[in-house]
Amino acid sequence: MAKEYGVEYPERALMAVLSDLLGIPHFTTSRGSTVRSDFLKAVLVALGESPKARTRMV
């Protein structure tokens, strides 16, 4: 199946729980296994880290 660009899907359940617990906005997702970078940045800031912090994802 071809990848559809620019199509947004409902937020994943775990993302919704994290958004509620951290008090951050809810984000839609794209199709596939990736999580939006703006969601990850919002989580990072909510946890007290600088939005420009560079982290290594494993």
pLDDT tens digit sequence for 4-42 = 666 667 778 888 999 999 999 998 887 666 778 888 889
pLDDT at residue 18, rounded to an integer: 92
Domain regions of the chain by residue span: 7-58
The predicted model scores a pTM of 0.68
| DSSP code, position 57 | -
Three-class SS of residue 29?
strand
